[in-house]
């Protein structure tokens, strides 16, 4: 089945049945109830979101990709077969990402674009999406995420608005649905307790379609994945290779499994992510790596290998929360502020 056909456009916000039954008194915009589902393997993996839209399992990440490099990287990725690009207003490269998409010649309708609302824009959601759409040179994004559950005062990024929480931000993001500017809305860096707060809030009428979080064998977060699954929220794994200068690449357990398959450690990490039911968005600006990271077909890990990688004991976290005005990680499953970065 072609990517084009899989990127169906029947999307509508959806509220899960368990959520709905407890919130039945609310004015609801429920059109149908769906749980997330996975189909296909390797680069042909798609996940059906709670809205009915299908997100491609493998995307290109673009954090820290410099504007001059990212245009070519995005073009190369699309020409190699990727159909999912992950960016953010905060990355400062949306314009070049948009240009790379145009340069590739791949029709917009075949590409899944995710971008994110930056923290200083939480009170200006409409302006935030307008800025992203303008830079990306597109009329809509497939997925719009609240980048962090933390708003910042634009003039002082370490200051949080006293009169605003992520629940207010989500209320405003919900208003975008139906405008044609976003196909799906979701969150990022949400731990279980913050998701519970969001789902319980009176103003919440839409269950996030996606929660994008840091996931790799040194930060596997099984409880968050299980919670999201139960609520019908798809999980995307960021820093899925362990990010820049990743110590994971030299991990012995990973190395042995990679050797057994005749694959690179990075390919094994991506397959691990997909086989755990998460989409993966490896970042690279190196053409050979972009192509290698998309060679995931015709092989897979055994369930035992997936488990072995999930059980690696060392912990590290790429993205902490000390740079934010409020804490967002509460050590619910070893993801607190005391986890070392690498």
**Residues annotated catalytic, as ranges:** 91
Query: How near is the Cβ of 325 to ligand NAP at its closest, in Å?
Result: 16
Say whether residue 211 binds ligand NAP (CB under 6 A). Answer: no
CA–chain centroid gap for 195, Å, is 15
Say whether residue 119 binds ligand NAP (CB under 6 A). Answer: no
Map the footprint of ligand NAP across residues 213-252, applying CB under 6 A.
238-244, 246
3-state secondary structure 268-322: HHHHHHHHCCCEECCECCCHHHHHHCCCCCCCCCCHHHHHHHHCCCCCCCCCCCC
Contact by Cβ (8 Å): 183, 154: no
Residues, the chain: 342
Say whether residue 63 binds ligand NAP (CB under 6 A). Answer: yes
Which residue reads 């398959």 in tokens? 261
Q: Which of 188, 208, 221, 214 is nearest to 331 (CA)?
A: 221
Say whether residue 266 binds ligand NAP (CB under 6 A). Answer: yes
Nearer to ligand NAP, 147 or 231 (CB): 147
Task: Kindly state the helix (H) or strand (E) to which residue 332 belongs, with its residue range.
Answer: none
User: Which residue has the closest beta carbon to ligand NAP?
Assistant: 61
Map the footprint of ligand NAP across residues 274-333, applying CB under 6 A.
281-286, 289, 292-293, 318-319
Contact by Cβ (8 Å): 195, 213: no
The interface mask with ligand NAP, positions 132-161, x = CB under 6 A, is ---------------x--------------
| Contact residue for ligand NAP among 45, 150, 204, 212 (CB under 6 A) | 212
Nearer to ligand NAP, 12 or 276 (CB): 276
Cα dihedral value 150, 153, 158, 162, nearest 10? -70
Q: Which residues bind ligand NAP (CB under 6 A)?
A: 61-64, 86, 147, 188-189, 212, 238-244, 246, 264, 266, 281-286, 289, 292-293, 318-319
Binding-site residues for substrate = 147
């Amino acid at each position: 089945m072609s990517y084009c056909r899989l990127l169906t456009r029947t999307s509508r916000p959806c509220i899960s049945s368990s959520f709905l039954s407890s919130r039945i008194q609310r004015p609801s915009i429920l059109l149908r109830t769906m749980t997330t589902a996975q189909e296909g393997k390797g680069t042909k993996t798609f996940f059906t979101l709670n809205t009915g839209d299908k997100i491609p399992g493998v995307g290109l990440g673009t954090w820290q990709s410099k504007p001059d490099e990212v245009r070519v990287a995005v073009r190369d990725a699309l020409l190699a077969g990727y159909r999912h690009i992950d960016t953010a207003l905060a990355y400062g490269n949306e314009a070049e990402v948009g240009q790379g998409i145009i340069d590739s010649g791949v029709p917009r309708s075949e590409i899944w674009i995710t971008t994110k609302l930056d923290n200083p824009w939480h009170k200006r959601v409409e302006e935030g999406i307008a800025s992203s759409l303008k830079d990306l040179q597109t009329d809509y994004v497939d997925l719009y995420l609240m980048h962090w559950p933390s708003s910042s005062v634009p003039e002082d990024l370490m200051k949080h608005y006293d009169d605003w929480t992520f629940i207010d931000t989500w209320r405003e993001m919900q208003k975008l649905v139906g405008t044609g500017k976003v196909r799906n809305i979701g969150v990022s860096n949400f731990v279980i307790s913050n998701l519970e707060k969001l789902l319980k809030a009176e103003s919440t009428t839409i269950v996030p379609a996606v929660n994008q979080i840091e996931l790799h064998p040194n930060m596997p977060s099984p409880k968050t994945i299980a919670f999201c699954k139960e609520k019908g929220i798809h999980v995307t794994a960021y820093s899925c290779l362990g990010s820049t200068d990743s110590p994971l690449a030299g991990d012995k357990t990973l190395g042995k499994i990679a050797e057994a398959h005749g694959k690179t450690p990075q390919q094994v990490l991506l397959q691990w992510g997909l086989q755990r039911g998460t989409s993966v968005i490896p970042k690279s600006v190196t053409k050979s790596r972009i192509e290698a990271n998309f060679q995931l077909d015709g092989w897979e890990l055994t369930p035992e290998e997936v488990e072995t990688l999930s059980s690696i004991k060392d912990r590290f976290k790429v993205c902490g929360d000390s740079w934010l005005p409020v804490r967002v990680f509460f050590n619910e499953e070893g993801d607190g502020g005391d986890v070392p970065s690498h």
